[in-house]
């Protein structure tokens, strides 16, 4: 018989009941089973490649226990891997599955889940709204979804009023942010084998991304030969060698620990993030600046990344780089991004030509070997 409490804990692994179950299991690094580890990696991989998490497997209680334990294990893996983009993908995928489950719950269950998530509410009876939250508590949630901006809320006498159809979403948004704040977690000494497995997993994901990018770019290179190409469809990938001179100038200066003015920093950061350079790598670049301010840098980079994700990156065109005095070469383009994409395409074309050249060489070698073997046979026959 399926344990209903287990089903609930598997759906909501952040609740007190789920945490107690993990503690009862006697969880430690040393006793993570192979099946739980596989399930945890599967969660992260699904979030990374599909943007969703697998459904809860309620076939039996044993599977449900593994589902509960795989959540904290996934958090451990993400903390070891320490990739902010991967953590964000996981948190976002978890939010999606969470919201689907919350929308099916009773009001009472929603209230209990909110309490477990430390969302302090007052349930309203005979009212147009489901509950109210103290203004200070609502602001402390720091919800990023525009739907929950204070200007869009019903506010009266120091309380924010939440309609029933928005309450489940509020919970899911809050849980996503809490999850991101927890990652990466501070971990005690990690067993070498577990650490190696996690770092190997990170490299496999990176390799997979690079192969997908190369495949995409090569398809454009094959079409080119060199006809018209829709540059808007080229997938962007981090490549320092392809950076346009104006951006490379700022990049090199920051890398060398030189002082770069605010406008050029903004242009460099925006361009790197638009080209999918990891946020942590961009932040690391700015730490070398002589007047580095961690709080201000983190604020500006997060703002640029968020705005770029939601509305598209606002990048400097060539006219602006000339106006602000950091255009360092005549590139024959009107926008630095066009230069970058052309460089990516040229690099892929060269790789493709080299690949074809190697294939042709192999064919020639095989042909020569066959010819040589044929000549040897003829000689043997004539001798006989």
Instruction: Give 303-316 pLDDT, tens digit per residue.
Output: 898 888 777 788 88
Give the tokens for residue 273.
């993030």
Peptide bond into 226 cis (omega under 30): yes
Lowest-pLDDT choice from 16-20, 33-37, 47-51, 350-354: 350-354
Give me the percent of the chain exceeding a pLDDT of 90.
41
Beta strands (DSSP E) in the chain are: 122-123, 131-134, 154-156, 159-162
Question: 52 lies in a domain?
Answer: no
Does pTM top 0.85 for this prediction? no
Residue 271, pLDDT > 50, answer yes
Residue 343 lies in a domain: yes
Q: What is the pLDDT confidence band of residue 291, given thresholds at 50, 70 and 90?
A: confident
Q: Which residue has the tokens 């099946």?
A: 35
Is residue 336's pLDDT more than 50? yes
- 227 within some domain: yes
- Mean pLDDT, rounded, for 27-31: 79
| pLDDT reading at 331 higher than 70 | yes
**Overall average pLDDT of the 324-347 stretch:** 85
pLDDT of residue 367: 62
Does 182 reside within a domain? no
pLDDT of residue 377: 53
Does a structural domain hold residue 124? no
> Is 76 inside a domain boundary?
no
User: Do 68 and 22 meet the contact criterion of CB atoms below 8 Å apart?
Assistant: yes
Residue 108 within a domain: no
Contact 55, 39 (CB under 8 A): no
| Count of domains forming the chain | 1
The kind and range of the H/E element at 52 are none
Evaluate if residue 202 carries a pLDDT over 80.
yes
* More confident: 30 or 33: 33
Range of the domain at 356: 213-384
DSSP string for residues in 156-195 = ETTEEEE-HHHHHHHHHHHHHHHHHHHPSPP--PPPHHHH
> For the segment 211-259, what is each residue's pLDDT rounded down to a tens digit?
655 555 455 445 444 444 454 555 677 888 889 999 999 999 998 888 8
At residue 356, does pLDDT exceed 80? no
Instruction: Check residue 375 and give its pLDDT.
Output: 57
Residue 310 forms part of a structural domain: yes
Mean pLDDT of the chain: 84
Q: Are strands 131-134 and 159-162 parallel, antiparallel or unpaired?
A: antiparallel
Q: Is the pLDDT of residue 161 over 90?
A: yes
pLDDT at position 40: 94
């Amino acid at each position: 018989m399926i344990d209903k409490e287990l089903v609930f804990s598997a759906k909501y692994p952040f609740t007190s009941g789920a945490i107690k179950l993990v503690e009862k299991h006697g969880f430690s690094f040393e006793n993570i089973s192979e099946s739980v580890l596989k399930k945890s990696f599967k969660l992260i991989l699904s979030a990374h490649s599909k943007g969703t998490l697998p459904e809860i497997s309620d076939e039996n209680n044993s599977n449900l226990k593994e589902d509960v334990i795989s959540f904290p294990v996934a958090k451990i893996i993400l903390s070891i891997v320490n990739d902010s983009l991967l953590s964000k993908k996981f948190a976002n995928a978890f939010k999606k599955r969470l919201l689907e489950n919350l929308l099916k719950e009773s009001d009472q269950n929603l209230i209990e889940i909110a309490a477990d998530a430390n969302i302090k509410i007052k349930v309203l009876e005979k009212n147009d709204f489901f509950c109210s939250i103290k203004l200070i508590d609502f602001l402390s949630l720091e919800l990023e979804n525009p739907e929950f901006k204070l200007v869009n809320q019903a506010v009266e006498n120091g309380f924010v009023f939440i309609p029933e159809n928005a309450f489940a979403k509020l919970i899911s948004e809050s849980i996503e942010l809490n999850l991101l704040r927890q990652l990466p977690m501070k971990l005690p000494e990690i067993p070498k084998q577990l650490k190696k497995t996690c770092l190997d997993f990170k490299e496999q994901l990176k390799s997979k991304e690079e192969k997908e990018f190369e495949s995409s770019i090569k398809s454009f290179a094959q079409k080119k030969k060199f006809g018209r190409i829709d540059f808007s469809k080229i997938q962007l990938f981090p490549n320092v060698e392809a950076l346009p001179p104006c951006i490379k100038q700022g990049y090199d200066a920051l890398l060398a620990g030189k002082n770069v003015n605010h406008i050029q920093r903004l242009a460099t950061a925006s361009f790197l993030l638009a080209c999918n350079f990891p946020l942590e790598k961009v932040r690391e670049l700015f730490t070398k600046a002589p007047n580095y301010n961690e709080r201000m840098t983190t604020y500006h980079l997060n703002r640029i990344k968020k705005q770029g994700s939601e509305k598209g990156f606002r990048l400097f065109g060539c006219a602006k780089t000339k106006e602000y005095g950091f255009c360092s070469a005549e590139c024959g383009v009107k926008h630095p991004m066009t230069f970058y994409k052309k460089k990516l395409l040229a690099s892929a074309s060269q790789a493709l030509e080299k690949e074809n050249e190697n294939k042709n060489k192999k064919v020639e070698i095989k042909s020569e070997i066959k010819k040589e073997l044929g000549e040897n046979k003829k000689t043997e026959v004539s001798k006989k």
